[in-house]
Amino acid sequence: MDGAIHRAAGSELLEACRELRRTELPEGLPVGAAVATPAFRLPAHWVIHTVGPNRHAGQTDPALLASCFRESLKVAAGLGARSLAFPAISAGIYGWDSRQVAEVAFDAVGSFSSSSSVSAASERGFELVEFVLFSEETTAVFRAALDSSPGA
């Protein structure tokens, strides 16, 4: 997903990421944290970057995965975003099961929406949170998880 976003946004996105790395994040973005850059050529205002946990590297704590979603939501709220789209963070090459990613994602979004952590700048909350998924298989898994989640 990262490569597709960078190709669509253009070379300016890579330059913005390099600038963040040079100035604010010399050690890189920690797993579970999030930061925003302009979206450049994408039909969006911002790209919110997060580093998902890699199960193959021993990062198996679901709290790290939940932090990716939660911190991304906080950054989006702080920017005053009205909508945002998530991929299946850490599913795929990072080895997380799509079902677990879906459950963690829906729980994080639901908890964020009902919590007091929504900033005053976005007190009305998000109009739309959607999941943009890579395959029909992952889409089916997310739909099934949504259908079985509390409050669905």
Active-site residue list: 2
End-to-end CA distance of the chain: 27
